Amino acid sequence: MSQSALYLGSRCPPNMEAYLDSLLYQTREEELWFELIVVGNCRVPVWLTDADRISVTRYSAPQKTGFERARITANVVRRYLRENDPDTIRQITQPRWHAPGVLAGAIGSDVRGYTRASASLFGEYREAPSPVRAWLANNALGRSIFLSDAVYTPRYGGVEVPWWAPADIVREERTVNGDRFSPEVAPREDLFSQDCDRVLTVGRISRRKGTDLLLKVAKRLNTAEFVVVGAVGDKNLAARLDDSSNVRRYPPVNYIEMPELYAASDLVLSVSRLEWGGVSRAMLEGKATGLPVIALDRKEAGSVANTTVQEDPDAIADAVRRILG
């Protein structure tokens, strides 16, 4: 059985849980073992530590930001490779800091070094507290991903390898665990409070995720109840959700509880303005659970959503009416 080391670092957010879950699912027929490299107090969920074909190796290291994080990553990788002999090592999160650290730490070893990133790496500096610093980090240091043996990138919203780079490209299918997300899951009974059409939106409460657009749609569809599952990024938008008669906020849940929310819904509505290739994780999960999906007409959204629409509240409301009847 071959072994692939995956550098996770100090955090395991829900989107990384989803990635690891889909990775295990996609490789379930292969003789492949994964070892997660985590740092400090990184909380690895129990379902993941109990999963087959995966183990966790933890190292103590100070929590730093910026270039210090890249240096610490390199030190951790060097230590890991002195103690272990994987076939490959791959950075799977925070490419602008972890990628150069993983590649530097693997120098002098026989292990093939891989990186992982999407095209959003080079464009997500505008909303940062310091856009100039973020641009330099993403577009200068971040391009170290192309110095690896191979770059793993999503089929939707992936990167293109520049002419000067030695890296191969591996396009990953964005899928979900079909055993976990299925129409047979029991619904969460307390998700909706009204006896009417049930529309689910998943994502942080913010303009980027289209919460302002959702509010306009809900006003046009007072016969439906809308539930927004996600953390509060914009307090003003959260207050407007609370004031709405047919929109309800629901706090974030653990990743493995998400199938219950889809099972309780009639439709998934994605009004996010920025997603990898126009495809959100909620769109993939909702479709796998058997729900119809409506999304903004962005890039590859039409390959997943049943219906794509322009960023117009009337057009979105009409699409919801057509699907729900």
| pLDDT tens-place string over residues 82-97 | 999 999 999 999 888 8
Q: Would you say the C-alpha torsion 202, 207, 210, 216 has a positive or negative sign?
A: positive
143 shares its domain with 201: no
Confidence of residue 63 (pLDDT cuts 50, 70, 90): confident
Here the tokens at position 230 are 């996600």
Q: Is the pLDDT of residue 131 over 80?
A: no
- Indicate the residue among 128, 157, 172 that finishes a domain: 172
Burial class (CB in 10 A: 0-12, 13-18, 19+), 59: middle
Q: Give the pLDDT confidence of 262-279 residue by residue, as tens digits.
A: 999 999 999 998 887 888
- Indicate the residue among 155, 172, 189 that finishes a domain: 172
Q: Is the pLDDT of residue 168 over 60?
A: yes
In-domain check, residue 93: yes
DSSP reduced 3-state for 316:
helix
159 shares its domain with 267: no
Amino acid 129: pLDDT: 62
In-domain check, residue 10: yes
168 shares its domain with 202: no
Its pTM stands at: 0.91
Amino acid 217: pLDDT: 96
Q: What are residue 37's phi and psi, to 5 degrees?
A: -100, 115
Beta bridge partners of 158: 118
Confidence of residue 319 (pLDDT cuts 50, 70, 90): very high
Q: Give the count of domains, the chain.
A: 2
Amino acid 194: pLDDT: 85
In-domain check, residue 188: no
- Indicate the residue among 172, 206, 230 that finishes a domain: 172
Question: What's the rounded mean pLDDT across residues 220-224?
Answer: 92
160 shares its domain with 11: yes
64 shares its domain with 112: yes
CATH of the domain at 320: 3.40.50.2000
The boundaries of the domain holding residue 91 are 2-172
32 shares its domain with 138: yes
The DSSP code for 232 is: B
Amino acid 249: pLDDT: 94
Least confident of 39-48, 61-70, 192-201, 291-300: 61-70
44 shares its domain with 83: yes
- DSSP character string of 93-132: S-HHHHHHHHHHHTTTSSSEEEEE-BGGGGTTTTTSSSHH
In-domain check, residue 319: yes
Q: Is the pLDDT of residue 123 over 80?
A: no
Q: Is the pLDDT of residue 126 over 90?
A: no
| Range 207-246 burial, b when 16+ CB lie within 10 A, else e | eebbbbbbbebbeebeebbbbbbbebebeebbebbeebeb
Percent of the chain with pLDDT over 70: 97
Question: What's the rounded mean pLDDT across residues 163-170?
Answer: 94
Q: Is the pLDDT of residue 125 over 80?
A: no
What residue has token string 């939106």? 201
Amino acid 173: pLDDT: 87
259 shares its domain with 150: no
217 shares its domain with 140: no
In-domain check, residue 78: yes
In-domain check, residue 141: yes
12 shares its domain with 107: yes
129 shares its domain with 229: no
Q: Give the pLDDT confidence of 180-217 residue by residue, as tens digits.
A: 999 999 999 999 988 899 999 999 999 989 999 999 99
In-domain check, residue 130: yes
Amino acid 268: pLDDT: 97
Q: Which residues contact 213 (CB under 8 A, 6 or more apart)?
A: 271, 311, 313, 316
168 shares its domain with 230: no
In-domain check, residue 313: yes
Amino acid 235: pLDDT: 94
